Amino acid sequence: MKIVEETHTRLVIQQKPISNWITGGLIFTAGLSFLIYCILFDFASARLTCTRSLPKEINCELKRFSLLGKKDQLKIFDPQQAQIITTRGSRGGETHQVVVTSSFGYIVLLPHASYQANQSAASEINNFINSEQTSLLVLQNQREYLSYLSLLFLFVIAIGAFLCTSPVSTCTFYKSLNQVFIERKGLRGEAIIKYSLLSILDFEIQDKQFKYKKLYRAVILLKFGTEIPINVEYTDENSVRYVVLRIRQFLSLQQFSDQ
């Protein structure tokens, strides 16, 4: 919040919500990145097919598909067992996934399938390995989970876009016109309100406690009881107090104690 122009007849104060723009940009970028990963690179479904050519010779093929159909294909030779691996997050949440081990390593089916689905898949795979069946088909699907996750990231992107388009506030006092104009201009549109200078009773500095610090904004008090914020976003105390002091000097108003 700063004074951008001052003459004998005009005083212009402007605030650019830079913190909102930066925060919104970071949120928008993070949401978009996760959405792209969710749609293009995370797997929504899996198809495991196994065949037994000899009693102890089993070959499997795992195909995994993204929401947009991108395919990942892996060969599994001599699978030995399937087991459910449980991972606990830092906040106590758990994820379960089926891991198929073989003589050449291991592969994971889907990372976010339900425990019941994983239990069923692991049981089918182990039964096939320990039986004399000649073929096996296991299907897993987590499209619903990824669809909800994508909607969540779209909501995050919308929040980021909203903050990125926060308007610039410009307050102009005209002695020659005997009016004050307050303009909010941004990508979401433009709004201008105006009042007579004679309707101004005083100026008030309002504060608000945020997580780590207290921030401030300047408000015009009108004689008929309306409060009009000069700067919608709260900012540092020194700049707000300085601007209010200069406005009072410009309008030759008596200085009252700020709340």
pLDDT band at 217 (very low <50, low <70, confident <90, very high): very high
Q: Which amino acid is at 223?
A: K
- pLDDT of 88 reads 79
Alpha-carbon distance of 183 to 186, in angstroms, equals 10
* Model pLDDT for residues 80-132, shown as the tens digit of each residue: 999 998 887 767 677 888 999 988 888 888 888 888 888 999 999 999 999 88
| Range list of β-strands (E), the chain | 2-6, 10-15, 45-54, 57-65, 71-77, 79-88, 94-102, 105-108, 135-141, 168-174, 179-186, 189-196, 200-209, 214-222, 227-229
Q: Determine whether 219 is exposed, middle or buried from the number of CB atoms within 10 Å of its CB (0-12, 13-18, 19+).
A: buried
pLDDT of residue 113: 82
Tell me which long-range contacts 240-248 makes (C-beta under 8 A, separation of at least 24). Answer: 240/1, 240/205, 240/216, 241/205, 241/216, 243/1, 243/2, 243/3, 243/13, 243/218, 244/203, 244/205, 244/218, 246/3, 246/6, 246/11, 247/11, 247/13, 247/173, 247/203, 247/218, 248/203
Average pLDDT over residues 28-47: 93
Average pLDDT over residues 12-26: 94
Which amino acid, one-letter code, is at 212? Y
Q: In what order do the strands lie in the sheet with 135-141?
A: 71-77, 57-65, 45-54, 135-141
Tell whether the model's pLDDT for residue 29 goes beyond 60: yes
Confidence band of 259 (pLDDT split at 50, 70, 90): very low
Which one, of 76, 123, 75, 73, lies nearest residue 98 by Cα?
Answer: 123
- pLDDT > 90 fraction of the chain, expressed in percent and rounded: 64
Map out the domains of the chain with their CATH numbers: 2-17+167-251 (2.30.29), 44-141 (no CATH)
pLDDT at 12 over 60: yes
Whole-number Å distance between alpha carbons of 240 and 230:
10
